[in-house]
Amino acid sequence: MARYSRSAGNDVKNAMERRKKGRLKSGKGGKGGRVKSRKQAIAIGLSEARKKGKKVPSKAGAKTKRKTRRKSTKK
């Protein structure tokens, strides 16, 4: 079973192309600077795919937040 949908991979690919052309920016409202890092471009592509509702695993940080939230509520 695939972890990522094909269309999510296309979103990452488009983000990488925008990075190469210098059109990919970080942050909201165009206030952020240009993205130079490959890892950052991949992360932006995945988050765009998540917002569109495509099949992408949840962020790694989200899992730890859930676990700590459960522990705090049980006490």
CA distance 51 to 37: 21
DSSP 59: P
Average pLDDT over residues 37-66: 86
Q: What is the pLDDT of residue 6?
A: 93
Q: Is-contact 11 46, C-beta < 8 A?
A: yes
Counting Cα atoms < 13 Å in the Cβ hemisphere of 21 gives: 8
Residue reference for tokens 């989200």: 62
Q: The pTM is what?
A: 0.70
Q: Is-contact 43 56, C-beta < 8 A?
A: no
pLDDT tens, 5-47? 999 999 999 999 999 999 998 887 767 788 899 999 999 999 9
Residue reference for tokens 């962020």: 59
